[in-house]
Amino acid sequence: MPYETVKISDLVVNPNNDRHGPLDSEEAAIKWLFENRFEEMKGLAKDIATQGKVFDAPLIYKSNNKFIVYDGNRRTACLKILLGLTQAPQKVALFFQSLRAEIKTPIPEAIECQVEPDFETISKILTRRHSGKLEGEGQIKWDTRAKANYAERAGGQSAYPISEKIEQYLEKKGYPNSTKIPRSNLAKIIDTKYRKSRIGVDLDQSKNLKFTKDENAVYPLLVKIADDLISGKLSLKQLLLSEDKNKYLDDLSEQGFSLSPTNSKKGKPSGENRSGPSGKRPKVRRTLIPQDIHHTVDWRHGQSKIKALWEQLQYQLKLGTHSLSIAIVFRVFLEQVTDNYIGKHSLKNKGALNKNIVVVSSELLRNNLFDEKQHRDVERKVNDAKSLSSIASLQRVLHSKSDLPANSDMVSLWDSLEPYILGAIKN
């Protein structure tokens, strides 16, 4: 496994990269990467520009005084553009121009590479890196727990602190499956003060687990929730909307578990924000996304524009005052959410918003993040071109000289598509 320092100018982004198959040239390969991995490529370029280095040595093969990259083509493409050795695709030309102007960290003109002399060795390396865990010889990706353990060790904090403390508590109590609890899903069921109050747990100022109700009543409830999460009886699909999470706790209450909230006289949500199209909406709806409904969204890399559009629709643009702007921003928002999901999951882009929404909705259904009724509702909103509350109505606002949106139609469309939007953003 020889390593050599190789000039970036001597590296060739592989036009036969397995990501895309045979292409005509290095330029075509770079263009493909930015067209099909747009957000990821931008994120990688920004990281390289900020750090001034790459952390993994590319795998290369020497051919006629040049080195063909077999693993590390994305890194190599970014380095070449940052150094001005190749032209950025038009789609990201302004991005790289701004990046070079803003970040002054020197970009290395040569990097350490793993140089392999024969294709058989290269093939074995690629198989083990990119073909899954195989029989154990392949790379095993970190699960949620491993990622959380690393985050706590490296950064001093846990991604799911209350889930981790509950897991540790159950382990000490002798619960045999504590390490199998999906921490991220457990965090979703206790993501508000109201649900923490109903269950009877919280974290104190020292980030230790505390009980707000009798521990003897809380323990069997935590065991039940853990069992349901592990078995799949409580699935991710049931954890996307507040009303579904509350219904799950209501069902447990009917089964005899102690779930009376400690901060509410009548057992109704106190400060709890209900969500979902069938949840109670405020009597006066001032914005497309109701302001008194809190959706727990862990915004990810590549979703900054989606987040900005969301905030405009929930806090800045007012129904009645900005109706036309809301319709336009809503249309752009749907496209961004849908395209982001398609790109992240390598789905085929159909080239039209209505078709792409069906693609994503079908994928959510296939992954059990959607049920048949929700999928049919989305299809109806997509395919009903005559309805005033449909995707087509937003299209008409953009292209018609006379069509103006009605607030009630846009509100109805949002409420119908809300499960789709949340499912696409969170997954």
- Amino acid found at 306: I
Whole-model pTM over 0.85: no
Same domain, 221 and 245: yes
Among residues 254, 284, 313, the one where a domain terminates is 254
Same domain, 248 and 316: no
Mean pLDDT by 10 residues, the chain (427 residues): 90 93 93 91 93 93 92 96 93 90 91 92 90 78 67 63 90 88 89 90 90 91 93 89 88 87 47 42 69 68 87 85 88 92 90 89 86 85 69 74 74 86 88
User: What is the count of structural domains for the chain?
Assistant: 3
- At residue 292, the pLDDT reads 60
Determine, yes or no, domain membership for 281. Answer: no
Same domain, 30 and 71: yes
- At residue 281, the pLDDT reads 44
Same domain, 310 and 390: yes
Two structure tokens written together for 249 = 């706790």
The set of long-range contacts for 310-317, using a CB threshold of 8 Å and a minimum separation of 24, is 313/287, 313/288, 313/289, 314/287, 314/288, 314/289, 314/290, 315/287, 315/291, 317/287, 317/288
Same domain, 26 and 118: yes
Same domain, 9 and 122: yes
Determine, yes or no, domain membership for 288. Answer: no
Q: Which residues contact 386 (CB under 8 A, 6 or more apart)?
A: 392
Cα(281)–Cα(274) distance, integer angstroms = 8
Place of tokens 């320092």: 5
Same domain, 165 and 195: yes
CB 422 within 8 A of CB 241: yes
CA torsion angle 410 411 415 421 (round to 10): 50
Place of tokens 């982004």: 13
- At residue 275, the pLDDT reads 41
Same domain, 102 and 218: no
Determine, yes or no, domain membership for 190. Answer: yes
Among residues 106, 130, 154, the one where a domain terminates is 130
Determine, yes or no, domain membership for 269. Answer: no
- At residue 279, the pLDDT reads 43
Among residues 87, 103, 130, the one where a domain terminates is 130
Same domain, 308 and 243: no
Q: Which domain holds residue 351?
A: 304-426
Determine, yes or no, domain membership for 311. Answer: yes
Strands 11-12 vs 66-71: parallel, antiparallel or unpaired: parallel
Determine, yes or no, domain membership for 382. Answer: yes
Q: What DSSP state is assigned to residue 263?
A: S
- At residue 403, the pLDDT reads 67
- At residue 64, the pLDDT reads 85
Same domain, 126 and 197: no
Determine, yes or no, domain membership for 308. Answer: yes
